[in-house]
Structure 1
């Protein structure tokens, strides 16, 4: 039986907590919360499950002293990007494997000092750190790259994501981390802290991809776009005034030393009709080479009436839970799933 701690109980964290409580091979060992109003609550209450006898805490020393194999780390990603590192280092040094959905996918992308500190903590605790998720974590790293093995020659990998934010309930997430509702006349988020945050996060996808193809990143060119609201709008998280941001498209074009171009685009929108009514909640992968390859990945919620974002939460948590036995069994250090035999220009 694997003993697991759930770190954070927001929307993603509560989903993870339910999966841990329900899983036949996992025993819940502890729960860390940020909100003081959640402290001292039985985990079953937060997960809408019977009482577990495990009570929440917001004291990290309580978590460090808890006997557990792994921490499922699902806090909301924050500014700056490295804000979560101190807590993760302490968890690793205490001898707990960490599986995070909030970064840590390919720490080498952030430089030797950043990655080295995490690697040192892993070795000190004799444990492993894994950053997992859907995007980043799976769409490019484990699906698109694997598909390039069908190519005799490869020119470009183009990955596009669209997410409908209209039903998302958290104003802090939609207006804060997504950047919707901001006024570009006052502050252009494409040149501010949000751009730095997402460049740091998604650069890990780009550097991972270069590694998988046996090459290096030559340069990364951002091409971020904003769509402004043509009229006043109201979404679940709140109002969006005319002329403010109704959609953000974060895009990076990465040129590899081997000549391959990887374009990664993430579109978050308050209304898919602003973009021609395109389908939402999916990824489109176009691989240009010999031959060309086109893939579409779509996830949807089985329950009628559920918000579109719930399917993505379910998928992200499923990836994290499935990772547990692989991370626990892995040697100490930094962990990342490798794609099966991605395309390479050279065998070396």
Structure 2
């Protein structure tokens, strides 16, 4: 068994606890939390399971790493990149295999800025750990799935990866309101939509696809559209969003080849289905991830995932976590290093059919 620490218990961390518990090669060794109210609580309770796991959450990160766990699922730093990098480097230096969605610049680790790549490589050399970063939006929807589907075509003109979500039940209000800007006046500039930020977050996935497809990018561009709410709406988890405030966002991160957007990561998000009804919508009205291969033939694949009942975005989080957690035993066998999605194979569910946390 591979002793594994889950660091963080938000939307991603909860799913990670469940995934580690369900994996036959992994053993939950510790759960790290920041909130004092979670300190000492059982991991099963924090993960939304109906049973105890016998692992109490702790805020003592130094003790958890001093125990030299073989693996760490880091789910605590998507909005604090400097602190997240320091945490991950410490875990790698302690000899752990680390998987995380938090370090956007390392999605395409070969072309990552030196200030992100070099500390990780130094920690790998010093401690013998490793790192694999893949997105929570989810990463497989912007790398392995489009690359797989592209291989089914005769000709390919463009690859488009879409995340389409209604955030009305998303259980992370600060991100929805302040990071993305839902419910703020249309003149408010949320951090996630500021010029250059989408390309910083998703540009690595564009470059990763370009590398896999053997094409040379001229540049990465961004587009942005925002729509106000026509009427005030009330959500189950976040309360009211007033008429006239931002209710929907659509942006693209485009990889330009020969002057045309050939590789595109697009996000279409709403706080209510009534906003921007002319934009693409998910089949069930809640959320989906879609890959479109424009070419001959035209290929379109839509993936819907459900988890945590009414928290409709949780399915995407769970599949992103599945990609990361299910890579741990492969990474342990592969040895120390810095890995990306082109290095790490998508694994079948060996030994996990019929096995699930309950």
Q: TM-score range by the shorter chain?
A: 0.7 to 0.9
Which residue of 1 is the match for residue 165 of structure 2? 163
CA contact (8 A) 1:133 1:320 kept: no
CA contact (8 A) 1:148 1:287 kept: yes
CA contact (8 A) 1:233 1:239 kept: yes
Which residue of 1 is the match for residue 8 of structure 2? 8
User: Which range is displaced more, 203-212 or 169-178?
Assistant: 169-178
- Write the mapping of 1:169-248 to structure 2, written as runs, cut at 5 A: 169-185=171-187, 187-189=188-190, 196-236=196-236, 237-248=238-249
Rounded to whole Å, the distance in 2 between the matches of 1:287 and 1:50 is: 43
Which residue of 2 is the match for residue 105 of structure 1? 107
Q: Which runs of 5+ in 1 are unaligned?
A: 341-348
Rounded to whole Å, the distance in 2 between the matches of 1:307 and 1:42 is: 22
> CA RMSD, aligned part only?
2.6
Q: Secondary structure of 1:138's partner?
A: helix
Rounded to whole Å, the distance in 1 between the matches of 2:54 and 2:261 is: 53
Which residue of 1 is the match for residue 347 of structure 2? none
Change over 3 Å in CA distance of 1:15–1:154 after alignment to 2: closer
Which residue of 1 is the match for residue 76 of structure 2? 75
Residue 303 (structure 2) aligned to one of 298, 302, 322: 298
Paired residues, number:
335
Which residue of 2 is the match for residue 328 of structure 1? 332
TM-score normalized with structure 1 length: 0.86
Q: CA deviation at 1:197?
A: 4.0
Change over 3 Å in CA distance of 1:42–1:136 after alignment to 2: closer
Q: Which runs of 5+ in 2 are unaligned?
A: 345-358
Change over 3 Å in CA distance of 1:300–1:163 after alignment to 2: same
Rounded to whole Å, the distance in 2 between the matches of 1:60 and 1:193 is: 33
CA contact (8 A) 1:177 1:194 kept: no
CA contact (8 A) 1:163 1:268 kept: yes
CA contact (8 A) 1:249 1:265 kept: yes
CA contact (8 A) 2:43 2:55 kept: yes
Q: Secondary structure of 1:45's partner?
A: helix
CA contact (8 A) 1:128 1:331 kept: yes
Which residue of 2 is the match for residue 308 of structure 1? 312
Q: CA deviation at 1:130?
A: 0.6
Rounded to whole Å, the distance in 2 between the matches of 1:302 and 1:8 is: 18
Change over 3 Å in CA distance of 1:273–1:146 after alignment to 2: same
Q: CA deviation at 1:50?
A: 4.2
Residue 125 (structure 1) aligned to one of 104, 119, 127: 127
Q: Secondary structure of 1:297's partner?
A: strand
Change over 3 Å in CA distance of 1:49–1:19 after alignment to 2: farther
> What do the CA deviations read for 1:295-335 (whole angstroms, capped 9, x no partner)?
222214278x5332232232222222211112212232211
Change over 3 Å in CA distance of 1:123–1:272 after alignment to 2: farther
Rounded to whole Å, the distance in 1 between the matches of 2:194 and 2:13 is: 23
Rounded to whole Å, the distance in 1 between the matches of 2:268 and 2:107 is: 20
Rounded to whole Å, the distance in 1 between the matches of 2:294 and 2:306 is: 31
Q: CA deviation at 1:202?
A: 0.6
Which residue of 1 is the match for residue 38 of structure 2? 38
Change over 3 Å in CA distance of 1:270–1:51 after alignment to 2: closer
Which residue of 1 is the match for residue 341 of structure 2? 337
Which residue of 2 is the match for residue 286 of structure 1? 292
Change over 3 Å in CA distance of 1:205–1:242 after alignment to 2: same
Q: Secondary structure of 1:159's partner?
A: strand
> What do the CA deviations read for 1:281-304 (whole angstroms, capped 9, x no partner)?
223322233x2332222214278x
Q: CA deviation at 1:222?
A: 0.7
CA contact (8 A) 1:189 1:195 kept: no
CA contact (8 A) 1:143 1:339 kept: no
Q: CA deviation at 1:34?
A: 1.1
> What do the CA deviations read for 1:82-124 (whole angstroms, capped 9, x no partner)?
4411111111111111010223322344423322222222222
Rounded to whole Å, the distance in 2 between the matches of 1:76 and 1:323 is: 20
Q: Secondary structure of 1:129's partner?
A: strand
